[in-house]
Amino acid sequence: MKKLSLFMLIFSIVLLGFSAGAFGAEDKKIKAGFIYVGPVGDYGFSHAHDLGRKFAEEKLDWLETVYVESVSESDSDRIIDRLIQQQKCDVVFTNSFGFMDSTVKAGERYPDKIFMHCSGFKRSDNVGTYFGDLYQMYYLNGLMAGALTKTNKIGYVAAFPIPELIRHIDAYALGIKAANPEAKVHVKWIYAWYGPDKAREAAESLIAEGCDTLAFTEDTPAVIEVGQSHTEKGKQIYTFSHYSAMQPYGEDSVVSGQFMNWGGMYVKILEDIYSGNWTNEDVWWLAKEGAAILGGNETDPINPKFVDDLKQAMIQTQEFGEISAYDLVMKRYDQMKQGVDVFDPFTGPIHDNKGTLQIKAGERASKEDLLSIMYYVDNVEGTIPQ
Amino acid sequence: MIRLSYTDRYQITRLRTLVTNIFSLAAGLVVISIIFLIAGVNPLFAISEIFQGSFGSMYGFKETITKAIPLILIGAGLTLAFRAKFWNIGAEGQMLMGAIFSTWTGLTFGDALPGFAIIPLMFAAGFLGGALWGIIPAILKIRYAINEVISTLMLNYICAHILTMLIVGPWRGATRFGFPGTDNLPDAAILSVIPGSRIHYITLILALACAAILTLAIYKTRFGYEARVVGENPDAGKYAGINFFKTTLILMAVSGGLAGLAGVGEVAGIHHYLGYPASVSSGYGFTAIIVAWLAKLNPLYTVISGIFFAGILVGGDAIQISLGLPAATVEIVNGTLLIFLIMGDYFLHNKITVSFSRT
């Protein structure tokens, strides 16, 4: 009996040695797991991430990926464990803010793996963060919204009162203010990332309150569908697409919008990991890096239907004198692509809607300011839910 | 001509129940196999992956147990309410109320008290929270004849919004940079887990104890007898002098209280802070309704059905991760399995005879 177990022991050690040898001889591969908060077919956030994942997998031949969609925040610990323990992932990307604590805790449990959390602020030795932000595009959307609105009441359907949303609402409002100082922004909170029914309800009630222009943060085209149906009935509602190319859902209503190209970012992060250059430093991409893109579809930054209207709407600016809304959008977009030091929406003087000066004249909000922003600028109505 | 006729079965043995369940499960698996075939996946591979992911591997089993804890606690509480034909659909809210009460207790006293004092205090607070949320619909039903299905269901939403209001407003933690959610509970207020797993064993022991005690209470005590009479024969109950108000209050306090305990377990054992309702519970209060039914309203059996159902939920991960099918497939598979288990009930209670007759 003893002999047999000794034999087995030696045998298994030899076997182990062989398999290790085989592993070493193989080319280095990386397996990355992606955890999405929504369904990949949601046409919003998770959809955009999944396009990025596919892009990276196609581009990097040493990369293997696996994804899990519709992961509830209460289940994220388990899914991370499963990706690491069962799927043997080397890297795990978690794509929702609500996964932050689970991701950081997982970093402690698996110190030899790398975790990347999208949109959070907690980092550790093996947990990094990344984000692509769209606030610049919201500003450009705001310029168009301000130029087009007839009622001077502009609506925003918002998911959750967190800094990311406040930043988008404020950027949108700053754009509106630059084009039309009279217009005010009205916000409705729906407390859901994926909630087409709630978004539809909020959009309808904003229209009932007199808003003729709507932007939103929610992962379905629901708001656009509302805008399109009112427009078809003869009441023009302008909408701005969010996160994916949603213009096909409202050809007569969608003026423009924004979407995010995660592909480049995923390729960069994974290449850094592959080459050993990865650090936990926050990866924060904007228009300059080609992450934030203007438009309601892949081809037109602005829906051709509204180009004439925007060319006729004249705006008085300090920098360019009198200029059409269309040209202003294009000029600003160009500047944003050059970098935040050329033009950034959050350049003072900026007051909050309680009258306090938040950013001094000539100063530009730092990334930290933007990441924790929790005040409405002065042309947004109401208060942030407390 | 073939004729099917059915007669009521009066004697239902344990063996027959077991055999019926196994057959129902097998029939469900056959239908699921067809679904997998249509999706282009080898059903044998798929089912073995699901089993691997839930019971067949150490990792899967640990996760199954973790997920079974709240299901057993809530399910056991629900058997009591359902026995009295009090259709408590509000366990989700009762669980969240337990989470709210215990988080408050943990955050307020966690720094001052040692673990052996704060943990029982939190469980007591959680029980109290769930019980309070449970007796509201009980009072509404007995005093004002308000349908408990509606009131318990609606109270879920009210509780979810109270929770949201708290974490967005007054309880928003200083360490959260403006994001909603309370601060993390102090270390003393966090339940320890079995190393290498997420099983917060104190809640597990509590769940098993509650299921056992409740079984004794239902079958061996006067209160259990009264609860059953309230459900099965209210008229007889009235003549026998059973105090409906008191009995219903107590049973809903217990049913809600156990859901509250589950809420404590999730907050103190898993999440360590109070976040949005959806991040505290992934619908345990609703899933536990099925757990209670699968257990044939016997609290002790909720241990089995809770673990079984947790296994289905956890094994569902494999459908997405290993088989690469969309998340919706998980729900289809789980739903199909349950429909068959519930349909099996018909054959348990009715004897089907097939007779051939000449026409």
Mind listing the pLDDT tens digit for each residue in B199-216?
A: 999 999 999 999 999 999
pLDDT at A114 over 60: yes
Nearest to A316 by CA among A143, A153, A173, A199: A143
pLDDT at A233: 94
pLDDT at A19: 47
The more confidently predicted of residues A216 and B21 is A216
Confidence of residue A107 (pLDDT cuts 50, 70, 90): very high
- Fold assignment, B67-319: ABC transporter involved in vitamin B12 uptake, BtuC (1.10.3470)
Q: A304-313, B121-130, B268-277, B312-321: which has the minimum mean pLDDT?
A: B312-321
Going by their DSSP bridges, the two strands A127-132 and A283-285 should be labelled as: parallel
Domain boundary assignment for chain B: 1-41+325-359, 67-319
Put simply, the answer to whether A162 touches B178 (Cβ < 8 Å) is yes
Rounded-to-integer distance, Cα B318 and Cα A86, Å: 10
| Tokens at A357, concatenated | 């000066």
Mind listing the pLDDT tens digit for each residue in A337-364?
A: 999 999 999 998 999 999 999 999 999 9
Mind listing the pLDDT tens digit for each residue in B317-335?
A: 888 888 888 888 888 888 8
Confidence of residue A192 (pLDDT cuts 50, 70, 90): confident
CA distance B63 to chain A (A): 7
CA distance B4 to chain A (A): 45
> Residues of B with CB below 8 A from A73's CB?
275-276, 278-279
Rounded-to-integer distance, Cα A216 and Cα A254, Å: 12
Confidence of residue B139 (pLDDT cuts 50, 70, 90): very high
How far out from the chain centre does Cα A376 lie? 20
What's chain B's average pLDDT?
A: 90
**Residue A116: its H or E element:** strand A114-118
What type of residue is A385?
A: P
Mind listing the pLDDT tens digit for each residue in B23-54?
A: 998 999 999 999 999 988 899 999 888 888 88
pLDDT at A3: 54
Which positions in chain A have a beta carbon within 8 angstroms of at least one beta carbon in chain B?
39-41, 66, 68-70, 72-75, 77-79, 81-83, 85-87, 97-98, 101, 121, 160-163, 191, 371-372, 374, 385-386
Residue of B nearest to A83 (CA): B321
CATH class of domain segment(s) A30-133+262-285: alpha beta
Put simply, the answer to whether A77 touches B270 (Cβ < 8 Å) is yes
pLDDT at B282: 87
Rounded-to-integer distance, Cα B297 and Cα B299, Å: 6
ipTM for the complex? Answer: 0.75
> Residues of A with CB below 8 A from B287's CB?
none
| Tokens at B265, concatenated | 């377990």
Long-range Cβ contacts of B209-212 (<8 Å, 24+ apart): B210/B73, B210/B76, B210/B77, B210/B258, B210/B261, B210/B299, B211/B72, B211/B76, B211/B299, B211/B300, B211/B302, B211/B303, B212/B299, B212/B300
SS3 for B297-330 is: CCCCHHHHHHHHHHHHHHHHHHHHHCCCCCHHHH
| Tokens at A246, concatenated | 């949603």
Rounded-to-integer distance, Cα A203 and Cα A170, Å: 19
pLDDT at A17: 47
pTM for the predicted model, two decimal places? 0.79
Question: Mean of the pLDDT values across residues A268-296?
Answer: 94
pLDDT at A331 over 50: yes
DSSP-assigned letters across all residues of A126-190: TEEEEEE--HHHHHHHHHHHHHH-SSSEEEEEES--SHHHHHHHHHHHHHHHHH-TT-EEEEEE-
Residue of B nearest to A371 (CA): B177
Upper half-sphere CA count for residue B126 (Cβ side, 13 Å): 31
Put simply, the answer to whether B178 touches A163 (Cβ < 8 Å) is yes
pLDDT at A147: 96
For domain A135-259+292-371, the question of CATH label 3.40.50.2300 is answered with yes
Q: A262-266, A276-280, B248-252, B327-331: which has the minimum mean pLDDT?
A: B327-331
Confidence of residue B250 (pLDDT cuts 50, 70, 90): very high
Put simply, the answer to whether A68 touches B67 (Cβ < 8 Å) is no
Mind listing the pLDDT tens digit for each residue in A1-57?
A: 455 555 555 555 555 444 444 444 456 899 999 999 888 877 778 999 999 999 999
Q: Which of A69, A98, A385 sits opposite B279 (nearest CB)?
A: A98
What's chain A's average pLDDT?
A: 90
pLDDT at A252 over 60: yes
CA distance A134 to chain B (A): 19
Question: Mean of the pLDDT values across residues B165-180?
Answer: 83
Put simply, the answer to whether A86 touches B53 (Cβ < 8 Å) is yes
Report DSSP state, residue A41.
G
Rounded-to-integer distance, Cα A187 and Cα A336, Å: 26
Q: Which of A69, A74, A77 sits opposite B327 (nearest CB)?
A: A69
> Residues of B with CB below 8 A from A54's CB?
none
pLDDT at B56: 87
Put simply, the answer to whether A69 touches B326 (Cβ < 8 Å) is yes
> Residues of A with CB below 8 A from B279's CB?
72-74, 98
pLDDT at A298 over 70: yes
Mind listing the pLDDT tens digit for each residue in B54-113?
A: 898 888 899 999 999 999 999 999 999 999 999 999 999 999 999 999 999 999 999 999
pLDDT at B9 over 50: yes
CA distance B250 to chain A (A): 31
Rounded-to-integer distance, Cα B274 and Cα B180, Å: 9
Which positions in chain B have a beta carbon within 8 angstroms of at least one beta carbon in chain A?
53, 57, 59, 63, 66-67, 164, 168-169, 172, 177-180, 198, 266, 270-273, 275-276, 278-282, 314, 317, 320-322, 324, 326-328
Mind listing the pLDDT tens digit for each residue in A368-384?
A: 899 889 999 999 999 98
Nearest to A137 by CA among A38, A45, A215, A27: A215
Give yes or no for a contact between A222 and A203, defined as CB atoms under 8 angstroms apart: yes
Look at the alpha carbons of A116, A119, A121, A122 in this order and tell me if their dihedral is positive or negative: negative
Q: Which of B59, B168, B180 sits opposite A81 (nearest CB)?
A: B59
pLDDT at B351: 81
Put simply, the answer to whether B317 touches A74 (Cβ < 8 Å) is no
> Residues of B with CB below 8 A from A79's CB?
317, 321
Q: Which of B63, B169, B321 sits opposite A87 (nearest CB)?
A: B321
Above pLDDT 90, what percent of chain A? 76
Rounded-to-integer distance, Cα A142 and Cα A176, Å: 4
Question: Mean of the pLDDT values across residues A168-197?
Answer: 94
Put simply, the answer to whether B326 touches A39 (Cβ < 8 Å) is yes
Domain boundary assignment for chain A: 30-133+262-285, 135-259+292-371
Rounded-to-integer distance, Cα B162 and Cα A208, Å: 28
pLDDT at A344: 95
> Residues of B with CB below 8 A from A86's CB?
53, 57, 59, 321-322
Rounded-to-integer distance, Cα B327 and Cα A230, Å: 34
Put simply, the answer to whether A162 touches B179 (Cβ < 8 Å) is yes
